[in-house]
A and B are shown apart, each in its own frame.
Chain A
Amino acid sequence: MSNQVIDLLKQLRQAAIKRDLKALITYHEEDSYLMRFANSAISLNTNEHLISLDFFAYDGRKKVSYSMIVNPSDVGTIEKGLDTLVEMLPHAQALNYEPTFPVYEKDVVDERSYDPALAALTNEERLAYFNTLAEGLESDDVKLSGIFSNGTTTTAQISTANEHTQYFRSTDAQVTAVLSSESLKWEVNAEQSAQKKSDLDAEGLHADLALLVRHYQQSEAVQLPVGKYTVVLGPAATAEITNIMAYYGMTGGALMQGYSFLKEEDQNKLLFSEQVSLRDDPTEVELYAQQADRFGLERKPFPLISEGRFQAFMWDQDSADEFGKTPTGHDVSHASLVMDGGEREIDSLQALVGMERDEDILYIPYIHYMNVVNPTQGMITGSSRFGALFLKKDGSVQVPYNVRLTQKFSDFFGERVQWLSEKQVAYNVSSSYGRRDPSALKVPRFICVKEIEISHSNPSY
């Protein structure tokens, strides 16, 4: 497989050189499968096999690019892309800085995240997985929705500087299963991220769904009064907040564009709870990490927060070139963020619900439609969804209608943090907008934070 791709890149490199182009050529191939469920049926069963090529041509301070989704055997059409670059380059406006041209110093082949068994998963296996996770939980009123998305993603790069190539291949699966009441409109979910076939655990999802469905069918539903609550965040909520915080707050580009809630002088300051440590860790295979970035820089574990102290911004190559900074190996389509676990031995939803407690706790597994209200304040908003529980201090459980939270990153990960689970889980945040780009974070199974403000509470499901 890699030989075929590398041969194509070397052929295109020669075609670029023939045209006197100083060029970077990148390859992206996805073999994607998605089985979608709605109303307890398979509402869509789809697959896409797409090959994309990107050409970037450089001439001093000028840079242009051409992208194509193409038939790889149609060399004539592909080479027309190079001809287009030749036409575009003289008309490009020169940048006021010198963009770095990638020169790969060695060949890289990184297939650590590739599992042939997951790549070969069949339609029948996807269906069987969903049948298992929903077994006995559906009814005339309770309907199954969800996705089983899996695929293989291959990326590769070559530049005209030399014949060295970088080649990466990974497999991924993202499962979301939702059970919802057609009459009452409540909805609960369970999710899974997988990098290899053996990660798949339909029974684990079944257990979480069964517990949530039982509570949503049997426990009292309540409209919580607005106000402050001790909140336990599930992995989906933690991962989404962390991801958006890193994107808006911890990249050099965001800093220079004025979006970051952090400043350069914040480095080494204690801005978060001492229980919080966060890093970008390319050694984490289950996070679909890559050994090198698009410019050939070796990727190494990169601390972002160490015991509450903010460490450093992530600089992609272009931002580093423009602002005179040193790139940090972050010219990647996704970071591989890991938040360390804590000391609390609560490793399952069942354990959380059964935990002894001396106060009421609002469990929020998932935050729907999160958006940044004020980036420089690090303020976000979103609504709870998919199985929130109100764990009363007397041990009983109520089901809260969805609530809205409008809070700062520092409210979630600052001094109000009470405890973090020792157990960490990978949470898949892949988006299938455009090209397949498997990405996931590893976060504590639960994080408990006090004094989280609920600003709105729905009067019903």
Chain B
Amino acid sequence: MKDSIRKLIDQLHAKGAHYVDARWYPHEDSNFLFMWNGNLKENNASSQSGLGVRVLYNGAWGFSASSDLSDPSAIFNKAFDNARIASERVTFPVRLAEKDAIVGSFNSPNQIDPFTIGLDEKVAFLEKMDAALNQTGVIQRFGMVEFVRKQIIFMDSEGSEIEKNIIEVFPAIQVVGVDKDGGMQRRKYQPSRTGPTRGWESIDEADFLQNAERIVSELNQILVADDAPNGKMSVILLNGIMFLQTHETIGHALELDRILGYELSFAGGSFVRLEDFGKLRYGSEKLTARANALEPNSPGSFGFDDDGVPAQDNLLIDKGILVGAITGRQMVEEANAKAKKQIFNGSSGANRATSFYRVPIERMTNINIDPGNDGSLEDIIANTKYGLVLDGDKSWSIGSNREQFHFACDIGWLVEDGQKKQVVKNPTYRGETLPFYNSLTAVGDESTWNVHYVENCGKGAPNQIMQLGHGVPVCRFDNVQVGE
């Protein structure tokens, strides 16, 4: 198959295509188990294979994909035809930033392939979790595990040939109860990704059992709690909400395709402008953010992106100043040309597609906030006059240019005079992105930092779901509007 793909790439190149690449998925397997109140509601295995071809012709992209590989040349020809018609409406001819031709491979670090583990053992894990969650106050309990194993062969007309073998494991548990006012409440747990590997061995049963007890206990506190207060106060965001705050208002806002207007018809744009790089004060001096695709154990680490560019660790915000973006080969060329100066020194290796049948677009890798010098969670609480500690991503809604946001959390704890007090329910907060990050007054140290995975980030048209990560510490923001 690889010989056939290479030949077809060369043929299209000879026909006038400026650039051609192909992603062949010999296999992508997944296994999803979902237990709800003791019933194994989903016990699904799946597989897919196919080929996606991207062609650049006269400054325009064409793409075609199929699961039917009986005639791969038809897919290449269709992609070429699609590019040819697209070239009839070009305003800024696509150019690709330079990269080296790479022959290489990437294997995600893992010790035990989850597909070698029997179904009995996987079900037994869920049954154990279900039993641990089946306690007073819990009316719904969920346990789920998803395993993914895929092989991707990337080849392009510049001579690259890259093979990736990636394994992912996504486990989580959740409990639901009804509070004293009849409202549905929940707590959930998914493990952090701070270990060195991401195979079956990353599911630590003892850790899950310990956290099962914690979330049941917290749920029961929510069920009898009063509503969170309204007004302006400090919020201390734990990892279970800080990851999402980072995702929505740093990650998406700094995707270069959004900044350049390529997502306006669906996901939206960004308040960031090209002239902001190097000078916009995005947040307080305590804020340093990076796109680090080199974290060992995260779905945001993939070796090479789908432009064939190696994974990198790049600063996005340096001590509060905007310095970088999430980029691929096409967008950095366009941004530099439009800005009439070199803002970006090549692709940051973040152009990814969710499957063989989708085209790569700028996606987050691991969008992290560096740990700070404000001590542990306890230290931060001790230095807070009045506010809420918040955790859990109950709901999120963000303005189309990522300029403002509204989050609802699963749980809050009142903080008064440096003391963590009672649990409160239904906490929400909202803000405007720049004032919010400029009100960042405390960033927790390494003890508060962990990597939270995201398995369902949506973007693009046709839509794509992507997996990635966020390494974040506990952070405190002051003067935040709470309770709407």
Give A residues with C-beta under 8 Å from B.
Answer: 32, 34-51, 63-73, 77, 81, 84, 88, 91-93, 95-97, 123-124, 127, 130-131, 143, 145-147, 149, 176-178, 180, 182, 185, 187, 189, 257-259, 318, 322, 368-377, 381-383, 385, 402, 404, 406, 431-434, 455-456, 458, 461
Contact = CB atoms under 8 A, between A and B. Distances in A.
B359 A38 contact: no
B261 A65 contact: no
Given A66-B44, A377-B183, A458-B404, 13 more contacts: A32-B462, A39-B260, A41-B60, A48-B66, A66-B47, A88-B43, A178-B265, A369-B398, A371-B396, A374-B408, A404-B430, A433-B465, A456-B404
Contacts of B202: none
22 contacts: A39-B261, A41-B86, A45-B60, A50-B66, A65-B42, A68-B48, A70-B47, A70-B48, A71-B49, A71-B67, A91-B119, A145-B261, A145-B262, A149-B461, A180-B261, A258-B178, A374-B183, A374-B426, A381-B395, A383-B398, A383-B404, A433-B464
A146 B45 contact: no
A73 B168 CA distance: 30
B114 interface: no
Contacts of A178: 264-265
Contacts of A93: 35, 39-40, 43, 123, 127
Contact of A48 (B39, B48, B64, B404): B64
Contact of B50 (A35, A50, A66, A92): A50
Nearest to A40: B91
Contacts of B395: 371-373, 381
A81 B49 CA distance: 13
Contacts of B103: none
Contacts of B184: 258-259, 375-376
A41 B43 CA distance: 44
Interface string B365-399: 00000000000000000000000000000111111
B340 interface: no
Contacts of B64: 46-48
B400 A48 contact: no
A265 to B, nearest CB: 13
A187 B48 contact: no
Contact of A42 (B86, B178, B401, B403): B86
Contact of A45 (B63, B266, B428): B63
Interface centre among B45, B64, B176, B458 (most CB of A within 10 A): B45
Closest 3 pairs between A and B when the two form their complex, measured CB to CB: A69-B48, A91-B119, A67-B46
Interface size class of B (residues with CB under 8 A): 35 or more
A368 B265 CA distance: 11
Interface in B91-141: 91-92, 118-120, 123, 127, 139-140
Contacts of B120: 91
Contacts of B269: 180, 185, 187
Contacts, number: 251
Interface stretch (B76-84, B214-222, B284-292): B76-84
Contact of A370 (B38, B82, B397): B397
Nearest to A430: B463
A322 B37 CA distance: 11
Interface centre among A39, A66, A84, A147 (most CB of B within 10 A): A39
B24 interface: no
B40 A95 contact: yes
A149 B400 CA distance: 22
Contacts of B81: 123
Given A48-B66, A95-B39, A67 B262 contact: no
A372 to B, nearest CB: 6
A123 B465 CA distance: 26
B69 interface: yes
B400 A91 contact: no
B265 A37 contact: yes
A179 B466 CA distance: 28
A283 to B, nearest CB: 29
A458 B357 CA distance: 38
Given A68-B48, A258-B178, A127 B88 contact: yes
A461 B404 CA distance: 12
A368 B262 contact: no
B220 to A, nearest CB: 16
Contact of B68 (A39, A41, A72, A91): A72
B85 interface: yes
Contact of A44 (B86, B182, B261): B86
A454 to B, nearest CB: 11
B65 interface: yes
Nearest to B93: A41
A56 B49 CA distance: 20
Contact of B89 (A41, A51, A66, A67): A41
B70 interface: yes
Contacts of B465: 433-434
A85 to B, nearest CB: 8
B62 interface: yes
B68 A73 contact: yes
Contacts of B339: none
B61 interface: yes
Contacts of A257: 140, 176
Contacts of B265: 36-38, 145-147, 176-178, 189
A370 B400 CA distance: 11
Nearest to A366: B400
